[in-house]
Amino acid sequence: MNCIKEILKAQGRSQTWLAEQIGRSYVVTTNYCNNKTQPSIQILRKIANVLDVDVRELLVETKGPNLFGIIFRFCAVNASHYRQKWKGINIHPVFFFTLS
């Protein structure tokens, strides 16, 4: 499972835009975003690169939710949003949380 759709939404980007950036069709990209199919590791890395996020931010935890995971996910999405505003300043999500 992945969180591509949520990160796109947080960044104000569309699935069409992502499809163009990664060189995949809209249908394939929509299937990734809706978790109908999962991208390969290579495509996942490409998506992370295009969205300027750590590849781990695109994945859903497999051990179930825990406090750290919930905080990390919240901060990762918000840090992605602020990275767009503060171009060139790379803030790790955990630091973003402690600074907020």
Tell me how far apart the alpha carbons of residues 9 and 13 are, in angstroms, rounded to a whole number. Answer: 6
Residues comprising the chain, all counted: 100
Query: Spelled out in words, what is the top-level CATH class assigned to the domain 4-99?
Result: mainly alpha
pTM: 0.64
Domain residue ranges of the chain, discontinuous segments joined by +:
4-99
List, for residues 43-65, the tens digit of each pLDDT value. Answer: 999 999 999 999 988 988 776 65
Q: Examine the pLDDT at 74 and tell me if it is beyond 80.
A: no
